[in-house]
Amino acid sequence: MQTKVFKASQLPAAAAALVAGELVSFPTETVYGLGADATNEAAVKKVYQAKGRPSDNPLIVHVADVATVKKYVSNFPETAAKLTAAFWPGSLTLILPLKPGAFSKTVTGGLSTAAFRNPNNQVTLDLIKQVGHPIVGPSANTSGKPSPTLASHVLHDLSGKIAGVVDDGPTGVGLESTVLDLSTAAPAILRPGAVTQAQIESVIGPIATNHHQVKADEVPKAPGMKYKHYAPNAQVYITQAKDFEAAVNWAQKKQQPFGLLATDAVLAQFTSLPVNYRFSLGDSIVSASQHLFDGLRHYDQLPEVKLILAQAFPAEGLGVAYMNRLGKSAGQVHFKADR
Ligand code: TXA
Ligand code: MG
């Protein structure tokens, strides 16, 4: 199969492919998604095949408006009304209880709930409207690899396996949406994202977080939490900005190429290293979040790089989501200055 690159002006062709049961990757403000018509079970099955995704890991249902969600759920709580008013379209995914049979088991992974999201990308909102049904969309990467923040990332992983990708340039946030479980009595964040706990609490009051590291034999709330994630070929070391000099000295002794993933201020200290081994995260937590996955993918193109020193940020605000993804990509391995 030849994978087409659709421009925003070619949306009708992209919508026609989705209606015909094909897979089309779509842009969002977080990462690119791998789209299929959520009401077409055969199409949704292809999503798991193309990604190599375990079949018990349910998919997010992307909708163009709140009214569509109400058609499928058995209960739309007051908290959901307040949160969608405050944050939709945007990077907040809500888990809600479904009417029996609302979606196939392929969409829900056999759960009685589904994850709903209204992405803040006009091209994709138009695409969903043209399709006339919600579209499922996991991140459009090969399972286990960093999520795609550029159409070229999607093509790298899925070219030849999907009908097309709608190219809308780089995504804005760069990290996947916050997943909030509203299907239980106590709302809980299952995955941190750009909509922060403090922002959610300012609308609905205190909530819990439930995005700890899930052990292999544990049943996680979000099935995706138990799988290996964002793993580049090299070993990532989470490194504090102040420890980079010590970390570079340590890495140099290993006599092996290594890569830096850091802010411009940190990189400026190491201009003697090859430019290809100095990937910039910009100058803030916002730019670092935008470029983290691109940086991890950059080093996957350089097989000689076996070690990446990646910059830590304070785990507050957007930094909670950034450190969650960086932690997973590193298998929670930190560079310790006294090693
Ligand atoms: O920003 C995003 O959310 C992106 C863009 C494309 O929208 N999508 C995304 O999808 O990250 P995915 O499939 O890579 O991650 C969805 C996460 C998984 O961890 C999955 O297990 C969890 O949400 N999830 C989906 N449905 C669920 C449900 N009914 N209950 C609990 N967790 C659910
Ligand atoms: Mg994903």
User: How far is the first Cα of the chain from the last one, in angstroms, to the nearest whole number?
Assistant: 50
- CA 147 to centroid of ligand 2, rounded, Å: 6
Give the per-residue pLDDT at 210.
Answer: 76
- CA 108 to centroid of ligand 1, rounded, Å: 10
Would you call 158 helix, strand, or coil by DSSP? helix
Ligand sitting nearest the alpha carbon of 93: 1
- Indicate whether residue 115 lines ligand 1 (CB < 6 A): yes
Which among 30, 9, 12, 24 has a CA at the least distance from the CA of 290?
A: 30
Q: What backbone torsions phi and psi does residue 156 show, to the nearest 5 degrees?
A: -55, -45
- CA 236 to centroid of ligand 1, rounded, Å: 24
Q: What is the mean pLDDT of each run of 10 residues along the chain (339 residues)?
A: 96 98 98 98 96 91 98 98 98 98 94 97 98 97 94 98 98 98 94 97 92 55 64 93 97 95 98 97 98 97 96 97 96 87
* H helix or E strand, kind and range, residue 309: strand 307-311
Burial pattern 58-67, b for ≥16 Cβ within 10 A else e, equals: bbbbbbbebe
User: pTM (2 decimals)?
Assistant: 0.95
State the CB neighbour count (10 A cutoff) for residue 212: 9
Give the per-residue pLDDT at 230.
Answer: 79
User: CA-CA distances (angstroms) from residue 245 to 42, 115, 262, 318?
Assistant: 53, 43, 12, 26
Give the per-residue pLDDT at 232.
Answer: 86
Q: Beta strand pairing status for 135-136 and 92-97?
A: unpaired
- Indicate whether residue 47 lines ligand 1 (CB < 6 A): no
